[in-house]
């Protein structure tokens, strides 16, 4: 039996050791190619991905990664990874980025982990067994009377800004989902048709296990393929009340 949590943490710690020292260094901004979605691949993204793929290749699992795309090993298990989510933040000296990995069995999620490099926080969840931060169970915060959300839009739904007390856009959707799971923020709304499965696979598992509600911009369950190219919209919130507020203001 593969210990998914140990595999995930081993990869995160190796990236932390060999790649995170590039943080705030000019070298981290070097462009070395483009990923399957057409976005630029930075040097630190490539170095981090190489570490993850080398370790995962030992397990003979399928791999879906942001920079290289899909590696099919005809396994029943698939790892969906974003070696550095928040790479713009990393390259520009903003201390909010993470490692994200999710494991699937026959396309069904089984485990997700997000490692917050600079704070050394481990957010994780096995499906149907709750969400944890450094081994302690976490839940979304349902007690607030006013809301704080992260809101990404290209212009649609701006009326929502008037209904929410605090708007934050922190630049790493994976880590923001972890912050939702521990109760630091109340929701994330991203309706740019920009986010890929590699960005949200682990975060969705952790947030849902912590009690979050996740759906598309129409309030329907999200289905996504295990690839690095599809683009989705999503809403992730801590309560039905906030979900109704969001949906009514982004039509």
Q: Are 141 and 186 in contact (CB under 8 A)?
A: yes
Surface-to-core class of residue 222, CB atoms within 10 Å of its CB (0-12 exposed, 13-18 middle, 19+ buried): middle
Q: Are 148 and 186 in contact (CB under 8 A)?
A: yes
Kindly report whether the global pTM for this prediction surpasses the value 0.85. Answer: yes
Which domains occur in the chain, in start order? 4-138 (3.30.540.10), 148-249 (3.40.190.80)
pLDDT tens, residue by residue, 84-130: 999 999 999 999 999 999 999 999 999 999 999 999 999 999 999 99
pLDDT tens, residue by residue, 181-209: 999 999 999 999 999 999 999 999 999 99
Q: Are 188 and 116 in contact (CB under 8 A)?
A: no
**Among the listed ranges 11-25, 32-46, 132-146, which one has the minimum average pLDDT value?**
32-46
């Amino acid at each position: 039996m593969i210990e998914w949590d140990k595999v995930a943490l081993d990869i995160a710690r190796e990236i932390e050791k060999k790649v995170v020292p590039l943080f705030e260094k000019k070298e981290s901004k070097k462009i070395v190619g483009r990923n399957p979605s057409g976005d630029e691949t930075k040097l630190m993204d490539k170095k981090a991905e190489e570490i993850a793929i080398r370790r995962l290749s030992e397990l003979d699992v399928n791999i879906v990664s942001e920079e290289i795309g899909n590696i099919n090993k005809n396994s029943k298990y698939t790892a969906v990874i974003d070696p550095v989510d928040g790479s713009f933040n990393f390259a520009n000296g903003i201390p909010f980025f993470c490692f994200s990995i999710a494991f699937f069995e026959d396309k069904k999620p089984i485990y997700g982990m997000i490692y917050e490099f600079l704070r050394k926080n481990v957010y994780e969840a096995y499906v149907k067994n709750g969400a944890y931060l450094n081994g302690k169970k976490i839940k979304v915060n349902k007690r607030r009377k006013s809301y704080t959300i992260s809101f990404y839009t290209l212009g649609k739904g701006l009326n929502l800004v008037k209904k929410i007390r605090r708007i934050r856009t922190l630049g790493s959707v994976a880590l923001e989902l972890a912050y939702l799971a521990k109760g630091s923020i109340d929701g994330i709304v991203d309706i740019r048709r920009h986010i890929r499965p590699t960005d949200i696979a682990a975060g969705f598992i952790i947030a849902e296990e912590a009690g979050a509600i996740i759906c598309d911009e129409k309030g329907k369950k999200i289905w996504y393929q295990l690839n690095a190219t599809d683009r989705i919209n999503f809403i992730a919130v801590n309560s039905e009340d906030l979900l109704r507020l969001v949906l009514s203001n982004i039509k």
